Amino acid sequence: MAKTKSVFFCQSCGAQSPKWIGKCPSCQEWNSYVEEVVGKSTDTRSSIRLKATPKTISEIEIEDRQRAPLLDLELNRVLGGGLVPGSLILFGGEPGIGKSTLLLQLALMQLNFSVLYVSGEESEEQIQMRAKRLSYDNPRCHVLMETSCEQIIGQLEAMRPQVAIIDSIQTLQSEHIESAPGSVSQVRECTLQLMKFAKETHTPVFLIGHITKDGSLAGPKVLEHMVDVVLQFEGDRHHIYRILRSHKNRFGSTNELGIYEMMGAGLRAVENPSDILIDSSTAQLSGSAIAAAMEGGRPMLMEIQALVSTAVYGTPQRSTTGYDLRRMNMLLAVLEKRCGFRLGMKDVFLNIAGGIKIEDPALDLAVITAILSSNEDIAVPRNACFCGEVGLSGEIRPIARLEQRIQEAAKLGFEKIYISAFHKQKTTSDIEVVEVSKVEELFSQIFA
């Protein structure tokens, strides 16, 4: 008599255990273990019949899978140049950031596609109101209010749209699973069913997903492994700019980045991000420096603003918007210890214009320039920009993709760019490239 074997799996990270445990020791998730039957322990070797034969890479026949170009050029680029048939795309972001807006807008502007937009969150009237604001209309876009996963698959099979959008995966419920919508096993089961539909019919499916407070996609981590593409929509809700990033892409690079502006009539692509990130009204003021940064594969120039003032309270305050506070503290320590600037009793505030968060070590040089400029109360020449990492001994270190940054700066009409003196490759460019090796050297060049 064959014996069935069951194992408890963590629905969040996939770890397994022979018995139920309350908290997963590997991913720290609570109450995520579910019993699963892993198969009968018979002698499998004699009973298996082989179906597929292994092939060499050159033997594989490529199906002609044409990417469908999207009219939304930012999304098109982030996806790697179009929508791949049968791809499952997870679209995550905080509530209210504009996920539904972006995908409804895509459905309505893409007149060459028939689209089924399934919503489990909003009523038909709400969707209609939103569509009116967007001022696009696609007669081949259909809307369906439904949360049953089996019903949705049935509707998709019957209608066979060219693109399906599910808003959101956390509202779906499969009748095969008893737990509530949004629970780990529901999300996983519904995603599996939709994945099966996508692969069998070669229909691209977008799944909108919510994000928890700590920034990860709500639901199982395995969800991210199941889908082909993971996109994340981020930004500050109080600012109008939104950034679309890809965290995973089986059909393209994850380096691409899309930037949108939330307008009264939907999201508009920002073609030249540097334009919005540099404010010309602060030109003559101290405490502002332009950084030649890279975000994803995209060079952009952005304004770093700093305010240094004498601390009114006993302990000086340090705060940053859009920049890592610990990194700023490190730079302040470098300025204090290595270069002798007395900033210990000063309040320091730092701000990246436009509400954009960025992690690029090349910002360091502009950050310290802005801080020194505010401290000395001398404005930085507006025709100059900066890129370089600052090391712990105050040395200016080389950074990646220097050429691209210089080109972008030249394109935007800057006349001077300050870079590290330690770049091995010498660059040729139309603008003046100033090499600095130490923070003191930068200081004497600009403020002396």
**Which stretches of the chain bind ligand TYD, using CB under 6 A?**
93, 95-101, 130, 133, 262, 264-266
Closest CA to 205 of 85, 82, 343: 85
- Rounded CA gap, 155 and 175, in Å? 16
Residue 122 or 440: the one with the smaller Cβ distance to Mg ion is: 122
Secondary element (H or E) of residue 260 = strand 257-263
- Rounded CA gap, 327 and 311, in Å? 20
Contact partner, 264, from Mg ion, ligand TYD, none, Cβ < 5-8 Å per class: ligand TYD
The encoded tokens of residue 23 equal 């908290």
Contact partner, 322, from ligand TYD, Mg ion, none, Cβ < 5-8 Å per class: none
What is the nearest approach in angstroms of ligand TYD to the Cβ of residue 132? 9
Q: Dihedral sign, CA of 118, 119, 124, 125?
A: negative
What is the nearest approach in angstroms of ligand TYD to the Cβ of residue 236? 12
Residue number closest to Mg ion, CB atom: 100
What is the nearest approach in angstroms of Mg ion to the Cβ of residue 73? 23
> Looking at 38-46, 96-104, 409-417, 431-439, which segment touches Mg ion (CB under 5 A)?
96-104
Contact partner, 265, from ligand TYD, Mg ion, none, Cβ < 5-8 Å per class: ligand TYD
Q: How far is CA 122 from the centre of its chain?
A: 25
What is the nearest approach in angstroms of Mg ion to the Cβ of residue 355? 20
- Rounded CA gap, 256 and 64, in Å? 25
What is the nearest approach in angstroms of ligand TYD to the Cβ of residue 80? 23
Q: Locate all alpha helices (DSSP H) within 290-401, ordered by sequence.
A: 325-337, 364-376
What angle do the packed helices 184-201 and 149-159 form, to 10 degrees? Answer: 10
Residue 100 or 374: the one with the smaller Cβ distance to Mg ion is: 100
Residue 95 or 215: the one with the smaller Cβ distance to ligand TYD is: 95
Task: Please name the amino acid found at residue 113.
Answer: F
Is 291 within 8 Å of 333 (Cβ atoms)? no
Q: Applying CB under 5 A, which of residues 32, 76, 100, 305 lies at the interface with Mg ion?
A: 100
Contact partner, 288, from Mg ion, ligand TYD, none, Cβ < 5-8 Å per class: none
- What spatial distance separates the first Cα and last Cα of the chain, rounded to whole Å? 89
- Rounded CA gap, 356 and 366, in Å? 16
What is the nearest approach in angstroms of ligand TYD to the Cβ of residue 139? 20
Residue 108 or 222: the one with the smaller Cβ distance to Mg ion is: 108
Contact partner, 139, from ligand TYD, Mg ion, none, Cβ < 5-8 Å per class: none
What is the nearest approach in angstroms of ligand TYD to the Cβ of residue 181? 17
Q: How many CB atoms lie within 10 A of CB 125?
A: 8
Residue 96 or 139: the one with the smaller Cβ distance to ligand TYD is: 96
- Rounded CA gap, 339 and 285, in Å? 24
Residue 100 or 288: the one with the smaller Cβ distance to Mg ion is: 100
Q: Please list, in sequence order, all residues whose beta carbon lies within 8 angstroms of the beta carbon of residue 448, skipping any fewer than 6 positions away.
A: none
Residue 11 or 171: the one with the smaller Cβ distance to ligand TYD is: 171
Residue 159 or 265: the one with the smaller Cβ distance to ligand TYD is: 265
Measured at the CA of 359, the angle between CA 354 and CA 364, to 5 degrees, comes to 90
What is the nearest approach in angstroms of ligand TYD to the Cβ of residue 190? 18
> Looking at 100-108, 147-155, 214-222, 410-418, which segment touches Mg ion (CB under 5 A)?
100-108
- Rounded CA gap, 409 and 403, in Å? 10
Applying CB under 5 A, which residues contact Mg ion? Answer: 100
